[in-house]
Structure 1
Amino acid sequence: MRQFLKKVASSAGFVIQYGCVVHCVFRYIGDLVLCSGPSMEPSIISNDIILTEHITPRFRQIKRGDIVIAKCPYNPQQNICKRVRGLPGDKIYTNFGRTEIVPIGHMWLEGDNSSNSTDSRNYGAVPEGLIRSRAVMKIYPLKFFNS
């Protein structure tokens, strides 16, 4: 019985250590994101899985053109996937003929599918604190395996 309890305790310790490492990797380094919705088509199609990293947003190294995952400004339970169109201080010319200046500490995010995207054109510049990660690459579906 003692041998059995030692094996159980050893296995439980391994599972807890592994879980802590996985948690830290997903929280601070990067993770996988399942994107849904048409706002980023044709770059990212609904149900594509992308690899993201959390380091660039922490050091405020996001550049214009990057695809980012952010908390939705009007629904914090939801994440959004958008392209950075404007950085702090940039002038943005909207489709409605308005000129917006991106405030310090904010970014202008837009979907690639401008006819079917709820983005900064609707809710304004997004605070940098809502940016969670930057897309690195699309990992599913793998187009080069399809013949």
Structure 2
Amino acid sequence: MPERVHERGPGQGEGAEQGPERPRGLRAFGLAEVYNRSMMPTLQPGDQLVVRYGSAVRPGDVVVLRHPFRQDLLIVKRAVRRRDGGWWVQGDNPSVENDSREFGAVPDELVIARAWVRLRPPRGVQRSVAGVASWAVSAVRPVRAVRSLSRRLRAR
């Protein structure tokens, strides 16, 4: 199944991410829904992302970008490093290769937003106060940049 993300908010039908003009103020933020397992365990299918359009990207950031070969397809990846020609992006799930290992560096103009917050919908019906509290604590999390893979491996 190809990876995709559904974008809601500025840019859908408005051309907000096209050209040098970027949305400002509240229009600079939008929602994206994750449909694929390529960013697991960080993101799961069904997660919603609050994204900021035109935000500066740094290595380790989770970004929404247009697929280089199918620009009507939006995907979510981690910006790993700068390369000649753009960003090298990869998913957090090593078994899914729909990333720069397949299509190379992504030009800057195809990177349209940076993820700020993950919103995780409830899985199933929560019948207890403890279940609701557990979901509420884990439902809203900032999407933090992974600065170093070695630091990430040491933490496990």
Q: Which amino acid aligns with 1:67?
A: V
Which of 101, 106, 116 is equivalent to 1:136? 116
Paired residues of 2:63 and 2:115 also in contact (CA < 8 A): yes
Alignment of 1:1-147 (within 5 A): 27=16, 28=23, 29-56=28-55, 61-87=56-82, 102-103=83-84, 105-141=85-121, 144-145=135-136
Distance 1:119 1:127 in 2: 13
Distance 1:73 1:107 in 2: 11
Output one character per residue of 1:99-139: Cα deviation in whole Å (capped at 9) or x when no partner: xxx10x40000000011131001110000100010000102
Paired residues of 1:38 and 1:117 also in contact (CA < 8 A): no
**Which runs of 5 or more residues in structure 1 are unaligned?**
1-21, 88-101
TM-score by length of 2: 0.62
Distance 1:113 1:119 in 2: 11
Paired residues of 1:73 and 1:123 also in contact (CA < 8 A): yes
TM-score by length of 1: 0.65
Distance 2:63 2:88 in 1: 11
Distance 1:85 1:71 in 2: 16
**Which runs of 5 or more residues in structure 2 are unaligned?**
1-8, 17-22, 123-133, 139-156
Larger radius of gyration: 1
The change in CA–CA distance for 1:77 and 1:85 in structure 2 (over 3 A counts) is: same
Larger RCO: Structure 1 or Structure 2 (Cα < 8 Å, ≥ 6 residues apart)?
1
**Match of 1:69, SS?**
strand
Paired residues of 1:110 and 1:119 also in contact (CA < 8 A): yes
CA RMSD across the alignment: 2.3
Kindly report structure 1 stretches of 4+ aligned residues shifted beyond 6 Å: none
Kindly tell me the number of residue pairs found equivalent between the two proteins. 106
Q: Which has more helix, going by share of residues?
A: 1
Q: Which amino acid aligns with 2:118?
A: K
Distance 1:23 1:118 in 2: 26
Distance 1:47 1:125 in 2: 27
